[in-house]
A and B are shown apart, each in its own frame.
Chain A
Amino acid sequence: GESVGLHLPTLSVQEGDNSIINCAYSNSASDYFIWYKQESGKGPQFIIDIRSNMDKRQGQRVTVLLNKTVKHLSLQIAATQPGDSAVYFCAEMVWGKLQFGAGTQVVVTP
């Protein structure tokens, strides 16, 4: 029979365009946040992190923005490539344990 499961939010983006993935976190006391990329059949891969004393951090083609006022995190990917197709998770560190969001499926179209 057909399996029923949660359907991840999906972001469809054209190759070469910029992607923005949003995440709301729950704990106002969280002071460390990480974005992970997970490809099918693999474990989460670290992309970029940010501490609460910052509101922006840049890596190679990626930028993370943190808005503590509204407890919102975003990941921007510049010039999205086919290899960026994956599920992206934001995670907050709560008492030494990572608490993951639900994830966003990014699909890069040619």
Chain B
Amino acid sequence: DAGVTQSPTHLIKTRGQHVTLRCSPISGHKSVSWYQQVLGQGPQFIFQYYEKEERGRGNFPDRFSARQFPNYSSELNVNALLLGDSALYLCASSLTGTVNEKLFFGSGTQLSVL
């Protein structure tokens, strides 16, 4: 069975551009979460989606947005990129996204902003 898949694996952008990252959850999982991991730190929560509805949002600016599609895949969009947005962006899926449920992570998209 495929795990959480993310694309692309690596991406280079310049300041001011926008980026779209994609995630496909584990088959049968209906909830997707996005995390940002800056080098040398633990992942930081950005968004959680369940059944196409946003369930939670972390402390990130409005330049960050996301959505979930009927097939439960998800996109993370970041506008007006800043150098500080350079990070590994991780997608995680879970069955229902309820509290105290295991999250399974993909390998991430490494975003470099120049």
B85 → A minimal CB distance (Å) = 16
**Contact yes or no, A51 B104, CB < 8 A:** no
**Contact yes or no, A46 B104, CB < 8 A:** yes
Task: Give a binary string over B3-24; 1 marks a CB under 8 Å from any A CB, 0 the rest.
Answer: 0100000000000000000000
**Contact yes or no, A103 B42, CB < 8 A:** yes
Q: Who on chain A is nearest to B57 by CB?
A: A97
Which of A44, A51, A95, A103: most chain B Cβ within 10 A?
A44
**Contact yes or no, A97 B42, CB < 8 A:** no
Q: Which residues of A contact B56 (CB under 8 A)?
A: 95-97
**Contact yes or no, B58 A51, CB < 8 A:** no
| A45 CB-CB contact with B under 8 Å | yes
Q: Who on chain B is nearest to A43 by CB?
A: B105
* Count of chain B residues with a beta carbon within 8 Å of a chain A beta carbon: 27
Binds B, one of A4-12, A57-65, A71-79: A4-12
**Contact yes or no, A43 B107, CB < 8 A:** yes
A51 to B99, CA, bound (A): 11
**Contact yes or no, A5 B39, CB < 8 A:** yes
Q: Which residues of A contact B100 (CB under 8 A)?
A: 31-32, 51, 93
Q: A6-B41, A43-B4, A103-B42 are in contact. Are A98 and B90 (CB under 8 A)?
A: no
| A49 CB-CB contact with B under 8 Å | yes
Q: Which residues of A contact B45 (CB under 8 A)?
A: 97-99
A3 → B minimal CB distance (Å) = 8
**Contact yes or no, A97 B48, CB < 8 A:** yes
Contact among B35, B43, B58, B107 for A41, CB-based, below 8 A: B107
Contact among A5, A42, A89 for B107, CB-based, below 8 A: A42
| B108 CB-CB contact with A under 8 Å | yes
Binding site for A on B (CB under 8 A): 4, 33, 35, 39-45, 48, 55-56, 58, 90, 92, 97-100, 102-108
